[in-house]
Structure 1
Amino acid sequence: MHAKRCLVCLALVLALAAGQAAADDHALAMHGEPKYGPGFEHFDYVNPDAPKGGTLRLANVAASTFDSLHPFILRGTPAAGLGLVYDTLTERSLDEPFTEYGLLAERIQVAEDNSHVRFTLREAARFHDGEPVTPEDVVFTFQRLKQDGHPQYRLYYRDVERAEQTGPRQVTFHFATTQNPELPLIIGQMPVLPQHYWEDRDFTATTLEAPLGSGPYRVVEVEPGRRIVYERVADYWAEDVPVKRGHHNIGRISYDYYRDGTVALQALKAGEYDLRQENVARNWATAYDIDAVERGLLRKEEIPHSQPAGMQGFFFNTRREIFSDPQVREALTYAFDFEWTNENLFYGAYERTRSYFENSELAATGLPSAAELELLEPHRDQLPERVFTQAYQPPSTEGRSLRQNLREAMALLREAGWQVQDGVLTHQESGREMRFEILLVSPSFERVVLPFEQNLERLGAEVSVRTVDPTQYQNRMDQFDFDMTVHVAPQSLSPGNEQRDFWSCAAAETQGSRNVAGVCDPVVDELVERVIDAPTREALVTRTRALDRVLQYGFYAVPNWHTDVYRVAYWDRFGRPPQNPPYGLALDTWWYDEDKAERVDNR
């Protein structure tokens, strides 16, 4: 009888366990089903038979230096390309909005109530020194990133309560909430670090020692601040894992650092490196009129994509008293003449950005839908009436003059208590003068900002433009030591936990966060949480659009521009698959073509 009762109890325990966890799977889709089934061999957008070898030389012109090979902490400026050294638990496909497939993990098991996710590691997974990747490494990585890593990890993993080893090759992450469906996927994106490597090293210190990882490349040459070279791992453990087939075909990848974009462009044309993503429209229109382009040796290609553009703009630091009033921020947006800028500086290459989720279905358009109003109505007394009655459009000079826009700006400023006094815009109650600095890191942006500065000065603001070196710029941004800056808030097709880092009150107070504008609004905080816990794709789109409307009418940035193509100039030494995936420039699917290279080299 006792034995029978124990068997019944065991059966109940197993039944409960089955009810708490879904079957093991090879992939996780944020919404819907994965495109690729359990037996898939490779992603559709790769060439699985691509040859291996050759060299790809790249340039880094976004920074002039690096002083660390440790990309997981706030201190220091890490070198470009360090992600090549590390593998993650899962790998994202670039032809689906947000689906993760097993990489270090061969099986993924999510509890039916979303209270935890369990990863079973591949037995073959190895670090570059031959040591196996273990659950202990995964637990160590999570704990160290959350405790000592860059502050963004604490925000990103806030709802992940703990990690524990639950089997010889198994690790389980427990969640503090069951209402955050993205957590299993973002944990899957976590790089895994070797515990045995770090146990005798200071995780909080910068270093120029070549790191140990399990990824497809290792660091082989370092000239601090000038150059870094990666070499493909010959016996890379994941060579035949489906998510890696057809990827990482180049034998050596180098990054050379340039202090000036113009010098870097000339270096490309001289053949000193191989490929450049051109982000300056004037260069794309005029700077490639050379013989090598005419002969097809240096190729110019516009590769379409469906990536959300996010928001690029002149971001206000609302922590500054002069920018604390949204009406003042709105007024100053009238001083940017996008139409003139696009025609005279960009050769008509761009579209005006109006949404924080531009170029995607997530962008708020028209008036709020009934579903959006359900989210917004409870906050009506905390929101501008225009959120409910008007679709946001940034000021334009199409069909009107800049002078008319500046008159509207002055009317808004007067309503907010500002008047021009002795030639300077001055707040009538406090006596505070409108003086601020626009902080830049790229000299190429000066030609865009200077006309904006002149228009702001016509309003009575005293504005200076300062371009600093990348290290100083990064330090100042980490400490929010700026008035206004050019910034990009990037977005994905599946926004989620990272939105806390962009817009939450907690992030506004966390140095190094991506809440550059200092957004701290209880309505925004609430909507961010609603985005994170969206149960379906339809709900995610609705909630993101509602968040977008509130951000738009917060006037946290003067919207800039966007394009839906990658502009790539490259020496024709490479082959690539016939179709680029819609959600990324899959450069790691290209390969070195010896026949093409010989033609280029004999030019």
Structure 2
Amino acid sequence: MRRRKLFLALAAILVTGISLLLYHVSSSPGLVATEKQPVTLKIAAEDYGYPSPYTFYPRGPGYIRMSLLFDTLVWKDQKGVIPWLSERYEVSKDGREWVFYLHPGVKWHDGQPLTAEDVKFTFEYIRSHPHPWYSREINIIESIEAINAQQVRLTLKTPYAPFLTNIAATIPIIPKHIWQTVSDPMKFTDPTAVIGSGPFKLVKYDKAASLYIYEANPQYFKGRVKIGRLVFTWPGQPLLAFQNGEVDAFNPDADQVAVLKGGKNVKIIEGSGFWIFRLMFNLAQHPFDQLEFRQAVAYALNLPEIVSRATHGGATPGNPGYLSPELGEWYNPRVATYPYDPEKARNLLTGLGYTQIGPDGIRRAPDGKRLSFELLTFQQGQDGEIVKNMLAAVGIDVRIKAMEKGAHDQLIDSGQYQMALNGHGGIGGDPVFLNQLIKPLTAVKDNPTLYNNPEYIRLARQQTAMIDKNERRQAVFKMQEILANDLPTIPLYYRKMYFAYRPDKLDGWFYTPGGIAIGIPTEFNKLVFIEPR
């Protein structure tokens, strides 16, 4: 009996000793534990709002923050659209009926099962609670039916060519058991508002600090999440923070790329220029409602020089037809152009009656008023000053009004501007984005400044219902010709995208062809974070 007690005591001491040794191995900085520790990845990025499906700031980075928490029926990889929440889908010959077969075993972050009822609820909820991103095209859906727990049928009013990319790959599916009691989604910032099915869960959001902290979803249905914690934070000077090891990745400009190239443990990827920077006119005000005036402005702007001075080569000059040449099959190379010609700009202004020139070099209207306008722009960058100087050379005075992005976007959406410089993505996806330039087909219904050309509107309505790709391509080409002739907006340049990162933290980043969802030009495809099962 004594021997047995002695044996048990020695065994207990041995087990305790081994446990302490293992703890010491895992916690000592100089030793490597047998189990790999979760990786924390820090990204330098600004605040884009609380990442619920309704409260994210309605620009690309805001959608991406949300997409890490929520999933869509389909998604995109390096080649195109792939099944996601649905493991497969079918479409009728006439393009109106879509049936999605949901991936089995998908669960929300709170453990509840995701079913066809959640999908049905999502589309019905968004239809009754409009959102600037989703409501543009949601009304094309005639009916939604949950066939059973794993199948859902969406019937469209008419065929809709961009249905997969702009609806099925864009609209985040939300949990019915949480959202069915939410009457005002724009004010819903409860922690349950970010319960989704995505690869990450939100741990912390601090708007004042521009801080997001996500943790991996260990039960993600698509596979193991490669990193344990994902952090978005804004260090103020991202290049310096990257060089000091405070962040693991950021979006450099062309000058910063030159500094980083060849650095140790640094990789840089470059994406196509599907981010457009353009000059907008308030078409409801004089003289911007005059084609000759807009043409004069176009001839006064030296686009290659703007690219060189504003981006130091990190962009390509704009195209009057709006689409970037990098869009390939949808790009029409044969549209009207306005090469830099200040003398032609002056002649056009003279023809409009702006014949008198004051001692300051600025033209006068027939009533003696100076030809002077306000130019709304962002606080960052020198684009405004460059445009101001080029227009001054032909006798147009520009008063710059620099705003932070939120106030800037609100003024544009409400039509409270004369001229504005605006930059955004979304021009690399389906050419349905051309429809957002015109008044009847945009989500911003109360903006009187939008383009309104009957022939353009007719083509815009028709092209989305065209199933034959060649027929649709002809319509899109004609739309570009009309835009180049009418000049409702002047594309200044298409900015190239760069992403610098530490490959020892996470490798495999890529720019999604056509962009994420409706065409967001970003390296943040959730596929990067997932190791498939």
* TM-score, shorter chain, exceeding 0.5: yes
CA 1:451 to 1:541, structure 2 compared with 1: closer, same or farther past 3 Å? Answer: same
Distance 1:432 1:171, change over 3 A: farther
Q: Deviations over 1:526-582 (max 9, x none)?
A: 12123212222322322221111111222123332236x642222342353498765
**2-structure distance, mates of 1:309, 1:544:** 17
Q: Which residue does the alignment assign to 2:505? A: 574
Query: Where in structure 1 are there 5+ consecutive unaligned residues?
Result: 1-50, 240-244, 367-390, 397-404, 593-603
Tell me what 2:352 maps to.
416
Amino acid paired to 2:274: A
Say whether the 8 Å CA contact 2:200–2:214 is kept in structure 1: yes
Q: Secondary structure at the match of 1:137?
A: helix
- 1:357 corresponds to which residue? 323
Aligned partner of 2:483 in structure 1 is: 551
Per-residue CA deviation, residues 237-286 of structure 1 (Å, 9 max, x unaligned), is 232xxxxx8xx53222111135x5xx2332222222111122x333334x
Deviations 1:422-470 (A, max 9, x none): 4543443x77653322222242x2x232122022123332312222223
1:316 and 2:281 are equivalent in the alignment: yes
The equivalent residue for 1:283 is 256
- Aligned residue in 2 for 1:55: 40
Query: Cα offset for 1:124?
Result: 1.0
Distance 1:142 1:156 in 2: 11
Aligned-partner Cα distance in 2 for 1:573–1:425: 59
Say whether residues 1:83 and 2:67 are aligned partners. yes
Quote the Cα distance in structure 2 between the aligned partners of 1:414 and 1:86.
Answer: 56
* Aligned mates of 1:105, 1:79 — CA distance in 2: 21
Aligned match of 1:29: none
Quickly say closer, same or farther: Cα 1:161–1:73, change in 2 above 3 A.
Answer: farther
| Match in the other structure for 2:5 | none
Pairing partner for 1:450 from 385, 388, 398: 385
What does the per-residue CA deviation read over 1:132-187, in whole Å, with 9 as the maximum and x for residues that have no partner?
1122211221122122131343321232122222333322222212x434335543
CA distance in 2, matches of 1:274, 1:265: 10
Identify if the C-alpha distance between structure 1 residues 356 and 310 changes in structure 2 by more than 3 Å, giving closer, same or farther: farther
Output the CA distance in 2 between the equivalents of 1:406 and 1:414. 12
Deviation at 1:57, TM superposition (A): 1.0
CA change 1:103–1:345 in 2 (3 A) is closer
Q: Does 1:257 align with 2:238?
A: no
Amino acid at match of 1:357: L
Q: Which of 140, 160, 172 pairs up with 1:159?
A: 140
CA, structure 1 residues 93+465, in 2 after alignment: closer, same or farther (shift >3 Å)? same
Q: Is the 8 A contact 1:309 1:562 kept in 2?
A: yes
- Single out whichever of 335-344 and 185-194 deviates more from structure 2: 335-344
Secondary structure of 2:375's partner?
strand
> How far, CA to CA, are the matches of 1:250 and 1:81 in structure 2?
16
Aligned-partner Cα distance in 1 for 2:233–2:430: 33
Change (3 A) 1:506 1:296: same
Q: Hey, what does 1:474 align to over in structure 2?
A: 409
Matches for 1:249-398 after TM superposition, within 5 Å: 249-257=226-234, 263-278=237-252, 280-285=253-258, 287-288=259-260, 295-297=263-265, 299-303=266-270, 305=271, 307=272, 309=274, 311-344=276-309, 346-354=311-319, 355-358=321-324, 359=326, 360-366=328-334, 391-396=335-340
Summarize the alignment of residues 60-209 of structure 1 with structure 2, pairs less than 5 Å apart: 60-61=45-46, 65-72=47-54, 81-96=65-80, 100-177=81-158, 179-183=159-163, 186-189=166-169, 190-209=171-190
Secondary structure, counterpart of 2:160 in structure 1? coil
| Contact 1:495–1:531, Cα closer than 8 Å, also in 2 | no
Question: CA offsets per residue over residues 193-237 of structure 1, 9 Å max, x none?
Answer: 011111333433334433111111110112223201111101112
Amino acid at match of 1:557: T
Rounded to whole Å, the distance in 2 between the matches of 1:228 and 1:197 is 22
Task: Give matches, 1:29-40, under 5 Å.
Answer: none
CA contact (8 A) 2:97 2:155 kept: yes
Letter in 2 for 1:267: A
Preserved CA contact (<8 Å) 2:162 2:430: no
1:364-387 Cα shifts (integer Å, max 9, x gaps): 113xxxxxxxxxxxxxxxxxxxxx
Alignment match of 2:373 (pick from 436, 457, 470): 436
Residue identity in the other structure for 1:216 = P
AA at the equivalent of 1:440: T
Cα drift, residue 295 of structure 1? 5.0
1:506 & 1:431 partners in 2: Cα distance? 39
- Contact 1:363-1:545 at 8 Å conserved across structures: yes
1 CA distance for matches of 2:525 and 2:101? 29
Question: 1:154 aligns to what SS in structure 2?
Answer: coil
Task: Determine the C-alpha separation between the residues in 1 that align with 2:373 and 2:112.
Answer: 54
Answer yes or no: is the 8 Å Cα contact 1:356–1:363 preserved in 2: no
Change beyond 3 A, Cα 1:302–1:493: same
Distance 2:128 2:187 in 1: 16
| CA spacing shift, 1:251–1:540, aligned 2, 3 Å | farther
Paired position in structure 2 for 1:503: 438
Alignment length, in residue pairs? 477
Shift of 1:362: 1.4
Can you list the C-alpha shifts for 1:324-365, whole angstroms capped at 9, x where unaligned? 122211111223223333445544444322142211221111
In structure 1, C-alpha distance between the alignment counterparts of 2:88 and 2:64, rounded to whole Å = 31
Counterpart of 2:67 in structure 1: which amino acid? G
Inter-CA distance 155–339: structure 2 relative to 1 (3 Å threshold): closer
The counterpart of 2:219, out of the listed 229, 235, 256, is: 235
- Report the aligned-residue RMSD: 3.2
Please tell me the residue identity of whatever aligns with 1:505: P
Distance 1:132 1:324, change over 3 A: same
CA contact (8 A) 1:436 1:462 kept: yes
Are residues 284 and 181 of structure 1, via their aligned partners in 2, closer, same or farther at CA, if it must alter by over 3 Å? Answer: closer
Name stretches of at least 5 consecutive residues in structure 2 with no aligned partner. Answer: 1-35, 516-522
What is the rounded CA distance, in whole Å, between the counterparts of 1:452 and 1:185 in structure 2? 36
Answer with 1 or 2: which has the greater Rg: 2
Whole-angstrom distance in 2 between the partners of 1:478 and 1:60: 24
CA contact (8 A) 1:68 1:76 kept: no
Question: Deviations 1:273-317 (Å, cap 9, x if unpaired)?
Answer: 111122x333334x54xxxx66513x25243x5x56364322223
The CA distance in 2 between the partners of 1:521 and 1:348, in whole Å, is: 35
For residues 208-223 of structure 1, what are the structure 2 equivalents within 5 Å?
208-210=189-191, 211-223=194-206
Contact 1:145 1:153 (C-alpha < 8 Å) held by counterparts: yes
| 3-state DSSP of counterpart to 1:526 | helix
Determine helix, strand or coil for the equivalent of 2:462: helix
Report the TM-score, using the length of structure 2 for normalisation. Answer: 0.80
TM-score normalised by structure 1 residue count: 0.71
Q: CA offsets, 1:469-495, max 9 Å, x none?
A: 233223223323223122235323532
1:68 Cα offset (Å): 3.2
SS in structure 2 of the partner of residue 193 of structure 1: coil
In structure 2, relative to structure 1, the CA distance for the partners of 1:578 and 1:486 (3 Å cut) is closer
Instruction: State the AA in 1 paired with 2:208.
Output: G
The one-letter code matched in structure 2 to 1:57 is K
Amino acid corresponding to residue 316 of structure 2 in structure 1 = E
